[in-house]
């Protein structure tokens, strides 16, 4: 009892804080997945996505000779070369073509195929190395007197990387959503 009372009376809070003690030894590494450890390999990203600049495209008339010796225009066509559009891309990837109906400074982007209320139709087919575009009007790139261009085209190629997903995560008909999803630059 005397020792206990001695300890209680000698443990007051009246003294100054003593000096810091020496650092202890390094502890063992934490479990896998803790800060600093390498995690599991993630899903394939969009690093292999291929996209063109906004391209000037000129269209040619698709004509036939009439029995009376005249020439009748059936529509218009153009081709966009796409060197990475190979057999593998055609059979396992995704191909998308867009038209900027307006200017680069004030874009109005439409996915192809395109049809409007005035009867304008622009569609495409893809084959090795080329997007072939067909239309019932001449939708080629135009340039005004100030050098501002209208109706430029861009393609996006997405290589196949894994089996199909259960849910489509992007609306490929919405260029803004595609641009954000694939981190495309203008």
What is the predicted pLDDT for the residue at 170? 82
What is the predicted pLDDT for the residue at 102? 95
Confidence of residue 1 (pLDDT cuts 50, 70, 90): very low
Does residue 117 belong to any structural domain of this protein?
Answer: yes
Does residue 11 belong to any structural domain of this protein?
Answer: no
Confidence of residue 40 (pLDDT cuts 50, 70, 90): low
pLDDT at 155 over 80: yes
Instruction: Tell me, yes or no, if the pTM score tops 0.95.
Output: no
Does residue 109 belong to any structural domain of this protein?
Answer: yes
| Average pLDDT of the residues of the chain | 83
Does residue 77 belong to any structural domain of this protein?
Answer: yes
Does residue 96 belong to any structural domain of this protein?
Answer: yes
What is the predicted pLDDT for the residue at 120? 95
Does residue 149 belong to any structural domain of this protein?
Answer: yes
Range of the domain at 121: 50-162+169-182
pLDDT at 37 over 60: no
What is the predicted pLDDT for the residue at 6? 43
Average pLDDT over residues 55-81: 92
Count of domains forming the chain: 1
Does residue 17 belong to any structural domain of this protein?
Answer: no
What is the predicted pLDDT for the residue at 166? 52
Average pLDDT over residues 25-36: 63
pLDDT at 148 over 50: yes
pLDDT at 2 over 50: no
Summarize pLDDT for 99-135 with one digit per residue, the tens: 999 999 999 999 999 999 999 999 999 999 999 999 9
d(CA 115, CA 1): 99
Using H for helix, E for strand and C for coil, what is the string for the chain? CHHHHHHHHHCCCCCCCCCCCCCCCCCCCCCCCCCCCCCCCCCCCCCCCEECCCECCCCEEEEEECCCCCEEEEEEEEEEECCCCCHHHHHHCEEEEEEECCCCCCCCEEECCEECCCCCEEEEEEECCEEEEEECCCCCCEECCCCCEECEEEEEEECCCCCCCCCCCCCCCCHHHHHHHHCCCC
Confidence of residue 82 (pLDDT cuts 50, 70, 90): very high
Does residue 14 belong to any structural domain of this protein?
Answer: no
């Amino acid at each position: 009892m005397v020792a206990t009372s001695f300890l209680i009376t000698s443990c007051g809070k009246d003294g100054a804080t003593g000096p810091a003690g020496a650092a202890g030894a390094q502890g063992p590494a934490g479990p896998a997945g803790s800060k600093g450890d390498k995690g599991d390999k993630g899903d394939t990203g969009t690093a292999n996505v291929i996209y063109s600049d906004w391209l000037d495209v000129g269209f040619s008339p698709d004509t036939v000779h009439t029995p009376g010796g005249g020439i009748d225009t059936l529509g218009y066509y153009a081709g966009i070369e796409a060197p990475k559009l190979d057999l593998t891309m055609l059979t396992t990837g995704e191909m998308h073509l867009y038209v900027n109906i307006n200017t680069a400074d004030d874009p109005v982007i439409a996915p192809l195929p395109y049809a409007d209320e005035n009867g304008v139709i622009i569609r495409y087919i893809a084959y090795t190395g080329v997007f072939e575009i067909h239309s019932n009007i001449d939708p080629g790139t135009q340039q005004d007197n100030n050098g501002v261009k209208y109706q430029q085209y861009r393609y996006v190629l997405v290589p196949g990387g894994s089996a199909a997903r259960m849910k489509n995560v992007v609306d490929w008909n919405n260029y803004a959503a595609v641009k954000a999803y694939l981190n495309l630059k203008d």
